[in-house]
């Protein structure tokens, strides 16, 4: 029988803590965080970041209009693709359980410049994702409170949600863990309760409908329509990496975080598929959604199923999901900013690396993860369209950050890296790594693919353009400030020294 990881080291919590501290010290760090986050809370953090309710409720109408009911299969395809990425990340975090996620992982697998750019792209993506989540929650809060939904009320409610998220994060790891568990519980109960109620009381179709496109492809091939609908799956399956962002707050992270990452994909994906299935089978007039006559099918279904009062209760549960998602995103962004600051890798490092001994959190990094999203949300007052353009980068940026780590891992394997953590893929490591990279490239091409031929070129290619702007800004920053060279912390140490030339060491690549 496999020994439970928490019972290793003779079952002594103190010895386990010493082991974790020794492992981190061998990587060059002495953590200031407290390991107060349980395995259940760590999984809940990843789940609420992934947030199947938020993802499905936000993009369901778009996906159904693009590809009809078969769009549900994209959730399974994308889930399998991102599972490959999660497996690669699991090996990395098991060997390098350092706060900050993709930045320290890229640093150990490749080098300082590469890690800096990986962290830059991912941090910007997290900031705009936080903004998009709280802004998306704004209309729900306004409606629950009885306000008229407008730009002003949406902005006000979004700022309120962002402030509440920040306060919860400021209360420390234990409160963050409790909030994640509460968010997970509310979301999973809400998803199951709503899903089963719809299936029992509002079902209008049999399972055969999942293979009927209802002509959603129009004059194109169905592959084109399915690719567009597949964006719901692409946008949904990230969040599992947040389990690793807080690696210094979890006991026995090398064994427990890989499990949490995989469970996030399994359970989050299953919940998303179930909710989508219930919604598809509960729509009375699918052609009306595809034709654009019913642009809010989720609202229509919930109102029909629960009435106005019941629909507000469901929206309250959805609001909890949005808040939990924002909390988890903010926690991930603050740990990444702290990791940057601790390694003196960016302007303002002396503030970003400051740590509160009382709360055991990085206060200035948390404030940054609140201030930047707030500015983005307030920008919608000037131009809602500008906000849309900024947020267009969110998912692409996260995928770029993911795939930079996946590419770094593949390069390291080919140069002799042998994962040595508590979780290893063994002989499957290389094919899984290649599969994760292939999936990620296909997903990014799909995100950038122009789908509005009548729009101006910069709108038609807005996702690609926004990605280029962020990467170019990062490269310009690197040329001007060169902060990536300030840190003396270890880098490129995953690859055996015999594979590293002196030239590569000199270039820090």
**Hey, how many other C-beta atoms are within 10 angstroms of the C-beta on 360?**
17
The CA-based angle 277-283-289, given to 5 degrees, is: 110
Check if the beta carbon of residue 286 is closer than 8 Å to that of residue 214.
yes
User: Is residue 273 in some structural domain?
Assistant: yes
- Reported as type and span, the H/E element at residue 28 is none
Cα within 13 Å of Cα(52), Cβ side: 29
Helix (H/G/I), strand (E/B), else coil: 305: helix
User: Is residue 13 in some structural domain?
Assistant: no
Gap between the Cα atoms of 203 and 327, Å rounded = 34
How big is the chain by its Cα radius of gyration, in Å?
Answer: 22
HEC letters along 311-375: HHHHHHHHHHHHHHHHHHHHHHHHHHHHHHHHCCCCCCHHHHCCCECCCCECHHHHHHHHHHHHH
Gap between the Cα atoms of 152 and 157, Å rounded = 9
* Residue 136 structural domain: 38-383+402-451+486-507
Q: Which residue has the tokens 């270039």?
A: 507
Gap between the Cα atoms of 51 and 315, Å rounded = 15
Total tally of structural domains belonging to the chain = 1
User: Is residue 323 in some structural domain?
Assistant: yes
User: Is residue 300 in some structural domain?
Assistant: yes
User: Is residue 466 in some structural domain?
Assistant: no
The CA-based angle 79-85-86, given to 5 degrees, is: 80
**What does pTM read for this prediction?**
0.90
Handedness of CA 404, 408, 409, 413 (dihedral sign): positive
User: Is residue 321 in some structural domain?
Assistant: yes
**pLDDT (0 to 100) of residue 189:** 86
User: Is residue 10 in some structural domain?
Assistant: no
Gap between the Cα atoms of 297 and 302, Å rounded = 9
Gap between the Cα atoms of 18 and 252, Å rounded = 10
User: The domain spanning residue 56 has which CATH number?
Assistant: 1.20.1740.10
**pLDDT (0 to 100) of residue 220:** 80
Selection from 369, 355, 14 nearest residue 172 by Cα: 355
**Hey, how many other C-beta atoms are within 10 angstroms of the C-beta on 315?**
19
> Mind listing the pLDDT tens digit of every residue in the chain (509 residues)?
333 444 443 446 666 667 888 888 888 888 888 888 999 999 999 999 888 888 888 889 889 999 999 999 999 999 999 999 999 999 999 999 999 989 999 999 999 999 999 999 999 999 999 998 999 888 888 888 888 878 888 899 999 999 999 999 999 988 999 999 999 998 898 889 889 999 999 999 999 999 999 998 887 889 989 998 898 998 888 889 999 999 999 999 999 999 999 999 999 999 999 999 999 999 999 999 998 888 888 888 888 888 877 877 888 888 888 999 999 999 999 999 999 889 888 888 889 999 998 888 999 999 999 999 999 999 888 776 666 666 678 889 999 999 999 999 999 999 999 999 999 999 999 999 999 999 999 999 999 988 877 878 878 888 899 899 999 999 998 888 877 777 778 888 888 876 655 444 544 45
> What does the block give as tokens for 431?
């094919």
- Reported as type and span, the H/E element at residue 9 is none
Say which DSSP state 195 is in.
H
User: Is residue 503 in some structural domain?
Assistant: yes
> What does the block give as tokens for 103?
């930045």
């Amino acid at each position: 029988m496999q020994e439970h990881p928490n019972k290793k080291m003779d079952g002594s919590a103190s010895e386990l803590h010493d082991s974790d501290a020794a492992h981190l010290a061998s990587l060059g760090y002495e953590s200031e965080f407290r390991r107060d986050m349980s395995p259940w809370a760590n999984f809940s953090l990843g789940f609420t970041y992934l947030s199947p309710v938020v993802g499905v409720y936000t993009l369901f109408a778009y996906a159904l209009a693009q590809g009809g009911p078969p769009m549900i299969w994209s959730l399974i395809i994308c889930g399998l693709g991102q599972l490959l990425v999660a497996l690669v990340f699991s090996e990395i975090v098991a060997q390098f359980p350092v706060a900050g996620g993709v930045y320290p992982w890229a640093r150990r697998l490749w080098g300082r410049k590469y890690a800096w750019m990986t962290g830059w792209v991912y941090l910007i993506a997290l900031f705009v994702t936080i903004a998009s989540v709280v802004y998306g929650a704004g209309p729900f809060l306004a409606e629950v409170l009885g306000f008229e939904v407008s730009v002003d009320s949406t902005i006000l409610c979004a700022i309120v949600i962002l402030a509440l998220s920040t306060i919860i994060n400021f209360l420390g790891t234990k409160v963050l863990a409790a909030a994640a568990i509460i968010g997970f519980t509310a979301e999973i109960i809400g998803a199951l309760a709503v899903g089963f109620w719809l299936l029992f009381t509002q079902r209008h179709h049999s399972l055969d409908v999942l293979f009927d496109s209802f002509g959603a492809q129009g004059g194109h091939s169905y592959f084109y329509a399915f690719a567009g609908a597949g964006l719901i799956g692409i946008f949904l399956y990230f969040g599992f990496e947040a389990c690793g962002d807080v690696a210094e707050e979890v006991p026995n992270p090398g064994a427990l975080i890989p499990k949490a990452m995989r469970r996030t994909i399994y359970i989050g994906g299953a919940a998303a598929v179930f909710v989508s299935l219930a919604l598809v089978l509960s729509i009375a007039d699918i052609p009306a959604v595809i034709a654009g006559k019913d642009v809010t099918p989720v609202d229509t279904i919930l109102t029909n199923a629960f009435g106005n009062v019941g629909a507000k209760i469901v929206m309250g549960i959805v609001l909890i999901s949005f808040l939990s998602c924002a909390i988890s995103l903010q926690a991930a962004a603050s740990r990444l900013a702290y990791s940057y600051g601790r390694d003196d890798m960016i302007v303002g490092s002396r503030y970003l690396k400051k740590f509160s001994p009382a709360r055991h959190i990085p206060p200035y990094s948390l404030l940054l993860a609140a201030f930047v999203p707030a500015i983005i949300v307030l920008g919608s007052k000037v131009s809602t369209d500008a906000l849309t353009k900024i947020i267009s980068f969110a998912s692409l940026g996260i995928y770029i950050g993911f795939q930079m780590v996946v590419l770094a891992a593949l390069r390291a394997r080919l140069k002799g890296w042998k994962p040595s953590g508590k979780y290893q893929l063994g002989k499957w490591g290389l094919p899984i790594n290649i599969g994760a990279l292939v999936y990620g490239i296909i997903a990014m091409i799909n995100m950038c693919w122009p789908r509005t031929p009548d729009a101006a070129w910069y709108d038609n290619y807005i996702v690609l353009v926004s990605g280029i702007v962020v990467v170019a800004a990062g490269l310009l920053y690197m040329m001007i400030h060169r902060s990536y060279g300030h840190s003396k912390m270890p880098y490129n140490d995953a690859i055996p020294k015999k594979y590293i030339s002196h030239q590569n060491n000199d270039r820090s690549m």
